[in-house]
């Protein structure tokens, strides 16, 4: 494998690609080594077999280049592009052995990320016209969070916090461990003093909590957890004309329920299934005749 970094991915993503390639190639691709001539050149297209939204194009491109830096890769569709059966996403050419060795890993990355983008686009379309933002969660594949969250953006959604470090999200379990919510204003003040750039979000399960939390200074977001639509509308009414906190609905969200939730007047809806339940987009690498040899 080549050690040269491509320009389209950062070091952490490159390490993930290398891990995937080591997992698949191991001590060597015995099929290509013994059944494909070393001199044979190849040309192929990464194509869609179903309708969706593509993401992870630069990852697929990098996989081929890390297997063989002499591979030529042409990006035909960018992240966020709509695809249909037969749509060509990448064109790759070079040593046939290298293309075949990289094939499965490249497809695995692009099909998974395109599946996330496609699922996200379905939710975005479902709330079109309401002004509501569809957001992801931290329910991501371990090690793939950055890639999957980029795929959400490709599908028209927006990212929630990346991790535990860039937003303080006080949920019911935090309050249970703490023992009481009475110290919340002081805790918020202390955190803001040390981390003024970090937003604060509180989880509310009842309208009583909504009333109490909205009155607290420096609360940026309010998570309305598992509330029915009537309760969500009442929570929106409690906030009234205030610009803050931003109201986020979460829980019980699927393609059948999301439109009704959006019409309650909340600002955004977080959807775990964008990343934890998205089906891979059907992709394939189609080879074409290419006779050139060294």
Kindly state the average pLDDT of the residues 132-141: 97
Closest alpha carbon to 245 in 167, 173, 177, 182: 167
Question: Can you name the residues that pair with 94 across neighbouring β-strands?
Answer: 42
Q: Are the C-beta atoms of residues 281 and 114 closer than 8 Å to each other?
A: yes
Q: Which residues are catalytic?
A: 104, 139, 171, 203, 225
Query: Is a pLDDT exceeding 60 seen at residue 6?
Result: no
Q: What is the tens place of the pLDDT at every residue in 155-170?
A: 999 999 999 999 999 9
Peptide bond into 100 cis (omega under 30): no
pLDDT band at 183 (very low <50, low <70, confident <90, very high): confident
In the predicted structure, residue 7 carries a pLDDT above the cut 60: no
pLDDT at 289: 77
- Res 178: pLDDT: 56
Strand, coil or helix: what is 45? Answer: strand
Distance of CA 122 to the CA centre of its chain: 14
The string of pLDDT tens digits covering residues 216-253 is 878 999 999 999 999 999 999 999 999 899 999 999 99
CATH topology match: 11-123+279-288 vs 129-276 = no
Superfamily of chain region 11-123+279-288: Quinolinate phosphoribosyl transferase, N-terminal domain (3.90.1170.20)
Q: Find the distance separating the first CA and the last CA of the chain, reported in whole Å.
A: 20
Q: Are 138 and 161 in contact (CB under 8 A)?
A: yes
pLDDT digits (tens, 9 = 90+) for 60-76: 999 999 999 999 999 99
Q: Which of 282, 274, 280 is nearest to 89 (CA)?
A: 282
Task: Render 166-187 in DSSP notation, one character per residue.
Answer: SEEEE-HHHHHHHS-STTHHHH
E strand or H helix that includes residue 225: strand 221-225
Q: What is the pTM of this model?
A: 0.92
pLDDT, tens only, 11-40: 899 999 999 999 999 999 999 999 999 999
Q: Is the pLDDT of residue 185 over 90?
A: no
At 1 the pLDDT is 47
pLDDT tens digits for 79-107? 999 999 999 999 999 999 999 999 999 99
Q: How many CA atoms lie within 13 A of 146 on its CB side?
A: 10
Domain limits, the chain: 11-123+279-288, 129-276
Instruction: Read off the pLDDT band of 8 (50, 70, 90).
Output: low
Helices (H), the chain: 11-25, 30-35, 57-67, 96-126, 145-154, 172-178, 184-194, 207-214, 229-239, 258-262, 273-276
Write the burial class of residue 176 (CB in 10 Å: 0-12 exposed, 13-18 middle, 19+ buried): exposed
Q: Which fold has domain 129-276?
A: TIM Barrel (3.20.20)
pLDDT in tens, 110-131: 999 999 999 999 999 999 999 9
Confidence of residue 5 (pLDDT cuts 50, 70, 90): very low
CA 42/CA 95 separation, integer angstroms = 6
What pLDDT is recorded for position 4?
Answer: 39
């Amino acid at each position: 494998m080549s050690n040269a970094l491509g320009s389209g991915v950062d070091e952490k993503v490159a390490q993930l690609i290398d891990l995937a390639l080591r997992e698949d190639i191991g001590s060597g691709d015995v099929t290509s080594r013994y059944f494909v001539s070393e001199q044979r050149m190849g040309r192929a297209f990464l194509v869609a077999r179903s309708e969706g939204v593509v993401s992870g194009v630069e990852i697929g491109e990098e996989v081929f280049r890390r297997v063989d830096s002499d591979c030529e890769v042409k990006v035909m569709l960018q992240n966020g592009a709509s695809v249909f059966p037969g749509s060509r996403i990448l064109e790759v050419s070079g040593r046939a052995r290298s293309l075949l060795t990289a094939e499965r890993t490249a497809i695995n990355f692009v099909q998974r990320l395109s599946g996330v983008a496609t699922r996200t686009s379905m939710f975005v379309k479902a709330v079109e016209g309401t002004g509501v933002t569809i957001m992801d969660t931290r329910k991501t594949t371990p090690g793939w969070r950055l890639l999957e969250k980029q795929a959400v953006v490709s599908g028209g959604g927006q990212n929630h916090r990346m991790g535990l470090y860039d937003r303080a999200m006080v949920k019911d379990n935090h309050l249970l461990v703490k023992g009481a919510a009475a110290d919340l204003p002081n805790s918020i003040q202390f955190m803001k003093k040390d981390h003024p750039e970090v937003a604060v979000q509180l989880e509310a399960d009842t309208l009583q909590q909504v009333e109490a939390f909205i009155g607290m200074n420096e609360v940026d977001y309010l998570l309305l957890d598992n509330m029915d639509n009537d309760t969500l509308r009442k929570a929106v009414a409690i906030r009234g004309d205030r610009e803050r906190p931003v109201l986020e609905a979460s829980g019980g969200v699927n393609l059948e329920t999301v439109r009704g939730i959006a019409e309650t007047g909340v600002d955004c809806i977080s959807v775990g299934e964008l990343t934890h339940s998205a089906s891979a987009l059907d992709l394939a690498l189609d080879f074409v005749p290419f006779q050139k040899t060294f």
